[in-house]
């Protein structure tokens, strides 16, 4: 998420959200693999190679391999779009990477 889009949502929530509201903020979905592929493409490097969990643990340690890089955290920003008429104005992370590193 672009910081300006997050700030816009916070301001809208402070101004018009019902007490106790809880909103996720997102601008599309991108996996670590998609982000890595986009970086590699933009820099003219080979793409990511698959790694089994045992090799990942050996490389980065248990917690990062299992809980950070191997995690699956997905959110949807449906509620702020509906309740606060909020829409992100900036591009997705993969579009930003491709445009910025090209």
- Asked if pLDDT for residue 37 goes beyond 70, the answer is yes
**7-11, 38-42, 71-75, range with the lowest pLDDT:** 71-75
* Structural domain range at position 2: 1-29+75-102
User: Do 69 and 34 share a structural domain?
Assistant: yes
User: Do 69 and 43 share a structural domain?
Assistant: yes
User: Do 85 and 60 share a structural domain?
Assistant: no
User: Do 100 and 79 share a structural domain?
Assistant: yes
- Asked if pLDDT for residue 58 goes beyond 70, the answer is yes
Residue range 82-92, pLDDT digits in tens = 999 999 999 89
Residue range 12-36, pLDDT digits in tens = 999 999 999 999 999 988 888 899 9
CB 4 within 8 A of CB 69: no
Global confidence as pTM: 0.71
User: Do 42 and 15 share a structural domain?
Assistant: no
User: Do 24 and 45 share a structural domain?
Assistant: no
Number of domains into which the chain is organized: 2
Structural tokens at position 101? 């590193």
What is the rounded CA–CA span in Å between residue 38 and residue 32?
10
């Amino acid at each position: 998420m672009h910081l300006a889009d997050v700030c816009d949502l916070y301001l809208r929530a402070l101004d018009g959200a019902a007490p106790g509201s809880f909103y996720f903020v997102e601008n599309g979905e991108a996996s670590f693999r998609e982000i890595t592929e986009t970086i590699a493409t933009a820099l003219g490097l080979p793409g990511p190679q698959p790694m089994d969990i045992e090799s990942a643990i050996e490389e980065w340690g248990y917690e990062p391999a299992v809980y950070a890089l191997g995690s699956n955290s997905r959110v949807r920003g449906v509620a702020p779009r509906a309740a606060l008429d909020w829409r992100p104005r900036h591009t997705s992370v993969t579009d930003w990477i491709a445009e910025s590193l090209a």
